[in-house]
Amino acid sequence: MSLDRIDARRIAIIKPSALGDIVHSLPVLTALRTRFPTASITWVVNSAYESLLTGHPDLTDTLPFDRGAMKGVRAIGAAWSFASELRRRRFDLVIDMQGLLRSGLMAWGSGAPRRVGFRNAREGSRYTYTHKLASPAFGAAHAVERMWAVAEAFGVGHLPKVFRVPLQPSEVDAARNALAALPRPWVAVAVGAKWLTKRWPATHFAELLGRSQSRFGGSCVFIGTGDDTALSQQVIANLRGPALDLTGKTSLPRLAATLSLVDVMVGNDTGPLHLAAALGRPGVAPYTCTRVALHGPYLQASSCVETTVACGGSYLKKCGNMICMPELTPDRLWPKLAETLDAWQRTHSSRSA
């Protein structure tokens, strides 16, 4: 029986990480809820990202796993405990949207009679599926479009892609209080990235943001993990306008709440940029080793700027060359940021009138 005709009562979505990848998959969850209105839908997620999904209106619950516990002396016990819980839930449909060996083994270990994944999934994970979906190859479509192949297979591909990010009222109140004393526009800034090849220089950020504050005023709100603190401080030290450093100080719910309130997002190709886009915040971003068409903030490609060097968009995590960084100057991003803030200023002025 084709997937667009089957019924299911207990569904598991496997998409453990990372933050941007989870955000890219959110429209599929909402489409599946429309397709299976009374089913129990569980999201299998890395425990580090579980709180982002808490309270999602289309989700029944989450099944977290601790990736760190899957290493070292605790690995066997942790893996056995997780596999036992996965099987105990007796899922009748499992959808692997990660497409790697670990997620494929989760799908297989669930014991679900229907295990769905992509035909071009990596690391042999496709051999654990009972149903293999055609999906655009990497390089042929945006990540959101590639994930959307799941919705199409289940007969709900005609629906609009809806990004629902659960916001906790207490976190929104706390975020609003933290920003209240700062002059607007509020510009969220993410200077870090796990990949060295994604990290636009701190000096570039300082020059771009300094120009922004000179023309539009406002405040810079720095976000990211604790590992990004030194980079944020380096930029802040070179700004003359007000700045709030929240780097390493926000939970995922607080991060989402903060991004829901800011006026524009400036950052590298990382999770916060995509989370801000999902929350409807305009973003401006430099793209060095990745491509906007594949991993830009969804439907905001026009506000991103790519390097023009020959090796741009190589998807290398490390590079001994890095000629993209001096080539992609603040001057090239400034028109995009100025245009975005001009639009904010016009809208804000009309509302204040």
**Average pLDDT in the 197-202 region?**
98
Question: What is the extent of the structural domain holding 273?
Answer: 170-352
Kindly indicate the confidence band of residue 83, based on its pLDDT and cuts at 50, 70 and 90.
Answer: confident
Is the domain of 201 the same as that of 288?
A: yes
Per-residue pLDDT reduced to its tens digit, 91-124: 999 999 999 999 999 999 999 999 999 999 999 9
Would residue 103 count as lying in a domain? yes
SS3 229: helix
The answer to whether position 159 is within a domain reads no
What pLDDT shows up at residue 81? Answer: 87
Instruction: Take residue 166 and report the two structure tokens written for it.
Output: 């659960």
At 283-317, the pLDDT tens digits run 999 999 999 999 999 999 999 999 999 999 999 99
Q: Is residue 2 part of a domain?
A: no
Contacts of 248 (CB under 8 A, 6+ apart): 224, 225, 226, 227, 228, 229
Residue 77 pLDDT more than 90? no
Query: Pairing mode, if any, of strands 243-245 and 264-267?
Result: unpaired
| Average pLDDT value for residue range 202-217 | 98
pLDDT digit string (tens) for 312-347? 999 999 999 999 999 999 999 999 999 999 999 998
Residues 140 and 46 in one domain: yes
Q: Are strands 131-133 and 186-190 parallel, antiparallel or unpaired?
A: unpaired
Q: Which of 114, 160, 152 is nearest to 4 (CA)?
A: 152
pLDDT at 138 over 80: no
Residues 148 and 174 in one domain: no
Residues 101 and 186 in one domain: no
- Domain shared by 27 and 175, yes or no: no
Among 106, 122, 153, give the residue marking a domain's end. 153
Are 221 and 345 in a shared domain?
A: yes
- Note whether residue 246 is domain-resident: yes
Sign of CA dihedral 246, 251, 252, 253: negative
Look at residue 326 and tell me if it is in a domain. yes
Given a cut of 90, is residue 43 above it in pLDDT?
Answer: yes
What is the three-class DSSP state of 219?
Answer: strand
Same domain, 132 and 191: no
Q: How far apart are CA 265 and CA 259, in angstroms?
A: 8
Residues 65 and 196 in one domain: no
Say if residue 208 is in the same domain as residue 332: yes
Instruction: Output the pTM of the full model.
Output: 0.95
Q: Does residue 17 sit in the same domain as residue 98?
A: yes
| pLDDT confidence of residue 79 | 76
Q: Are residues 180 and 147 in the same domain?
A: no
Residues in contact with 338: Cβ distance below 8 Å, sequence separation at least 6, in sequence order: 212, 215
pLDDT at 219: 98
User: 3 in a domain, yes or no?
Assistant: no
Strand partners, 305: 286
Which of 128, 153, 178 is at the close of a domain?
A: 153
165 falls within a domain: no
Two structure tokens written together for 47: 């425990």
Residue 188 maps to a domain: yes
| 292 and 328, same domain (yes or no) | yes
Q: Which CATH number belongs to the domain containing residue 329 in this structure?
A: 3.40.50.2000
Dist. CA 295–CA 307, nearest whole Å: 14
**What pLDDT is recorded for position 80?**
82
* Domains identified in the chain, total number: 2
pLDDT over threshold 70, residue 69: no
Q: Taking the mean position of all CA atoms in its chain, how far away is CA 227?
A: 18
3-class DSSP state for residue 262? coil
